[in-house]
Amino acid sequence: MTDAFRPSFDLLATDPSGARRGRLHTAHGPVETPAFMPVGTLATVKALTPDEVRATGAGMILGNTYHLYLRPGHEVVRDLGGLHRFMNWDGPILTDSGGFQVFSLAGFRKLSEEGVAFQSHLDGSRHLLTPERVVGIQEALGSDVMMVLDECPPHPCDRRYLAESLARTNRWAERSLAARTRPELALFGILQGGTDPDLRRRAAESLAELPFDGYAVGGLSVGEGQDAMLRTLDATTPHMPRHRPRYLMGVGTPLDLVEAVERGIDLFDCVLPTRTARNGLLFTSQGRVAIKHARFERDSRPLDEACDCTTCQSYSRAYLRHLYRSRELLASRLNTLHNLYYYQTLMRRIRAAIEAGDYGRFAETFRSSEAGRSERDVARRKTRR
Q: Annotated catalytic, 96?
A: yes
The one catalytic residue in 15, 196, 256, 269 is 269
Beta-bridge mates of residue 246 = 215
Tell me the longest C-alpha to C-alpha distance in the chain.
61
The one catalytic residue in 96, 150, 213, 256 is 96
Query: Measured between alpha carbons, how far is 59 from 246 in angstroms, rounded to an integer?
Result: 17
At a CB cut-off of 8 Å and minimum separation 6, what does 236 contact? 191, 197, 200, 201, 203, 204, 217
One-letter amino acid for residue 375 of the chain? E
Q: How many angstroms separate the Cα of 340 from the Cα of each of 21, 176, 273, 327?
A: 21, 33, 6, 20
The CB-side HSE value for 260 (13 A sphere, CA atoms) comes to 32
Q: Annotated catalytic, 377?
A: no
- Compute the 3-state secondary structure of the chain and give helix, strand, coil in percent, each to the nearest 5: 45, 20, 35
Query: Measured between alpha carbons, how far is 249 from 220 in angstroms, rounded to an integer?
Result: 7
Query: Measured between alpha carbons, how far is 187 from 211 in angstroms, rounded to an integer?
Result: 9
Active site residues: 96, 269
